[in-house]
Structure 1
């Protein structure tokens, strides 16, 4: 129980994985006012913060310099009278004027020994803030929706706390609010509470309204309290923050992947994990994958690329049903990954993301010298639209799901993950394998074959093809094929990666590939092709060479040059060419 209670206070002070108003730093005593030395130290920290914010790439995009200057002057005039909490919140409000979710001031354990919290645990569902822990005497209210504190509605409290919430969208702000509303000193600072004792909570239980009273308590008192926990069966998809990523089967069709942080696990590198996913897809025959980004607050957006490439290829070539879950906790690099999943063909399910599609980022963190307050400040603006077509309809706003599926109170109480259930209820979502070989898929097939034959990594310089997404699974192979002279685009900027390959196009590319491998094929005119006149002049030599060597075949003497190629036919042709080259 003590570990549970300690975790409650930690949650109150750490406020999740996104930049927050309260996060653990150093130790300092809360005072009602400040000595002259403390005032000087605060003045120095204020100036350091102002100097740092001035380096923001567009600090005044939402509020003018005059607004910032007025806030700084207000803080300056009250330095001697402020408590440590008031000073910290004042700096939070100053940074929040940037309206940038990556630029913030965090306060933490320097006051955690002094602040008091409402002895409750809570989670957010579609209906509001659902209570999951309460003092034993109030356990009948567990599972209810908190609607007011001391008669002040939660919506009104949210508005009062808005100056400290910052951020660039309402989803982020509501998430931050839900992680801070039960800290007494914050509620007192914004005029919601004036007495830590006898605080009235109004709770909605279905059609019934229940009112209970609690006292705000400090860490020592909290650790000794007996808190009742809402009894419920946790869903199979419950967050497991001890793991950076893991996979589990949900049913005979569905493989679920939880990706909790954009970091490489040194004990399970992403490449190794990706191969495990491939093996499970092959061995178990799963035709649906769910990638869960709802609890991922970011890190390095490139970590997931090996896995994303596999899921994209399986989706496009094999018909794998590919879903990505997002929510208010999807932030920063995880938000970028969500857009990449959409670009890869995934269906996005859940609720709008906490991070904005276009956003300030590339954070520079540091600690204020005297107060120990932690500061993060963005150093650049990230515009995803030029890189990811899926982002082009967005600006500085949350990423929206294709299927809106918020967690409902009824499902939460029943131990059901609403968003996952919305996916599992679908029965006809798996597609069919690709009927025709695309140009991108041909580049992939030959690139992999070449790497295996030569035991070398491909040299993949960037291409100028505007219709090839840089993070697509076939992008490096298209780049290789173009630079190796195997395939050309419709123009210098258009490759047409999704266009189906015809038999005469395949013949030309395979002929070039044989030459690249050091085995050029000479023309052999001994085979008669009845529809030779319909073969394009640029393809006739290649067709004749490959047909005569039985790499490509005729049907009743005809080649059918304009007929599209299936993946199986291309695979057979490449294997036949490999066998031929091995014998040369």
Structure 2
């Protein structure tokens, strides 16, 4: 293992990085010390600087990530891309963290539950990882912890993995038996299942049973489908960006025309994969839907949210709540309704590390809560995932009393 601080020159290099961070991040962020005092944060960075001679590269990176995350703004974080990753993809279900994808040589671990790493239980590991993830609620942690678990440098920097190239992971297989496996890290370019994107994705090879709608066309920015048996249009909006191949304004016009001219009595907007972009792009659609009496009524309009619903995606959800009679179903959002955003980046001098930071504060809700909590909280279980079920859509289609107190206001 290479020690970056084995010489005075290495110490000086990282000391300069810390100086750059201490100078630039508070200057660039719109309100960096909104949660912690300047004195406390400067003192912590000074202590890190004093500790540099005894630290290794990944320990320093973990410490920087922890310091940035402690500011309390989920948009302000250290971007620390790995060179190697473990060849598994994980997802945190209601029951625990499971393997959803596995590279060749590890297929026997598919659909197993992760119980620990190198003799440490998963709860202890999650607690350690929490410190390096910028977050404002537990649902954003549920989104990001599985990704960090496959990041060898994070595990090494936190003291979870003594050797970042290989770790002993303990799983519980589908037969409820414990299995301990030596898992080797692979270069990112050689890893066929590297989770460079978070959230759930269809398993490969595809199962004989069709994927549920929430996993269909997962790589498309937006799409809709008519479900004639229920008189429903299902609209999945995965990112608040314009796709030049299918311009969003044209797509919106097509969908609005379909809603007006077809035998449709229910519209479902699925934002559970949407972690941001430009919230203004969907406003014309929201305004038009508001004027559709056959849709904008109790039981006619539903919006699905979840842990991935963040930033502009969450702002769009709030716009539906404030201007329509939508009923919200799913998980609490990973984004905070009132918080910082409009992100920019800068590179830490002399490194390949980047820091994101917020340039504006947004107040989008009268309630200052950590998450936007839907009207009906419905979580996905691992059993649902295996059986290709979507409990959220099932709840919507079986809703017996689609009325809420706010509709009376």
Q: TM-score, length-normalised on structure 1?
A: 0.61
The corresponding residue for 2:227 is 250
1:270/1:306 contact within 8 Å kept:
no
326, 344, 349: which is aligned to 1:369? 349
Q: Does residue 359 of the first structure (1) align with residue 339 of the second (2)? A: yes
70, 91, 101: which is aligned to 2:74? 101
The corresponding residue for 1:31 is 2
The corresponding residue for 2:251 is 273
User: Of the two, which has the highest radius of gyration?
Assistant: 1
Q: Does residue 201 of the first structure (1) align with residue 170 of the second (2)? A: yes
The corresponding residue for 1:302 is 280
The corresponding residue for 2:290 is 312
Moved more, 46-55 or 352-361: 46-55
Deviations 1:26-84 (A, max 9, x none): xxxx8322455544333232222112232334333332333312321132123344433
**2-structure distance, mates of 1:138, 1:274:** 43
1:151 Cα offset (Å): 3.4
* Structure 2 segments unaligned to the other structure (5+ residues): 194-202
The corresponding residue for 1:238 is 215
Change (3 A) 1:315 1:348: farther
The corresponding residue for 2:199 is none
The corresponding residue for 2:197 is none
Change (3 A) 1:309 1:88: same
1:101/1:167 contact within 8 Å kept:
yes
249, 257, 260: which is aligned to 2:238? 260
The corresponding residue for 1:146 is 114
1:251 Cα offset (Å): 4.0
1:194 Cα offset (Å): 2.1
**2-structure distance, mates of 1:412, 1:317:** 30
1:429 Cα offset (Å): 5.6
SS of 1:180's equivalent in the other structure is helix
RMSD: 2.9
Q: Does residue 47 of the first structure (1) align with residue 19 of the second (2)? A: yes
The corresponding residue for 1:174 is 142
1:231 Cα offset (Å): 6.0
**1-structure distance, mates of 2:332, 2:296:** 29
The corresponding residue for 2:374 is 401
1:335/1:353 contact within 8 Å kept:
yes
1:236/1:250 contact within 8 Å kept:
no
Q: Does residue 425 of the first structure (1) align with residue 398 of the second (2)? A: yes
1:125 Cα offset (Å): 1.8
1:298/1:331 contact within 8 Å kept:
yes
Moved more, 57-66 or 363-372: 57-66
2:59/2:158 contact within 8 Å kept:
no
The corresponding residue for 2:96 is 128
Structure ranking higher on relative contact order (CA contacts 8 Å, 6+ apart) = 2
Change (3 A) 1:261 1:363: same
Report how many aligned residue pairs link the two structures.
388
Deviations 1:306-357 (A, max 9, x none): 1111222225776471111111101111111111111222111100000001
Moved more, 97-106 or 361-370: 361-370
2:103/2:191 contact within 8 Å kept:
no
SS of 1:147's equivalent in the other structure is strand
1:236 Cα offset (Å): 2.6
Choose between structure 1 and 2: higher strand proportion.
2
SS of 1:76's equivalent in the other structure is helix
1:293/1:326 contact within 8 Å kept:
yes
* Structure 1 segments unaligned to the other structure (5+ residues): 1-29, 385-390, 431-497, 500-584
Q: TM-score, length-normalised on structure 2?
A: 0.85
